[in-house]
């Protein structure tokens, strides 16, 4: 298993999540307010929780290699 790819993908996912949060914070109300605001909030919450779970799983996995 190539650990550099896992770390790279994790960092790219973090950057993408932060950019999406910035875009929605700046422009989200005018595009999403009428119909899509509840769905966007739910999607943001699910994405954030999935990112936290994956990060936690990665930390637990790496901690299992300690002697």
pLDDT confidence bin for 67, thresholds 50/70/90: low
Angle between helices 3-32 and 37-63 (to 10 degrees): 160
CA distance 64 to 67: 8
Angle value at C-alpha 19, between 30 and 41, nearest 5 degrees: 50
State how far the Cα of 30 lies from the Cα of 37, in Å rounded to an integer: 10
The rounded distance, in Å, linking the Cα atoms of 18 and 16 is: 5
Q: pLDDT at residue 1 above 60?
A: no
Full-model pTM: 0.47
| 18 vs 36: which has the higher pLDDT | 18
């Amino acid at each position: 298993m190539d650990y550099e790819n896992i770390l790279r993908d994790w960092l790219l996912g973090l950057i993408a999540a932060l950019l999406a949060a910035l875009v929605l914070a700046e422009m989200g109300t005018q595009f999403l307010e009428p119909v899509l605001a509840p769905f966007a909030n739910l999607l943001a919450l699910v994405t954030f929780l999935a990112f936290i779970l994956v990060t936690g799983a990665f930390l637990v996995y790496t901690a299992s290699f300690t002697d």
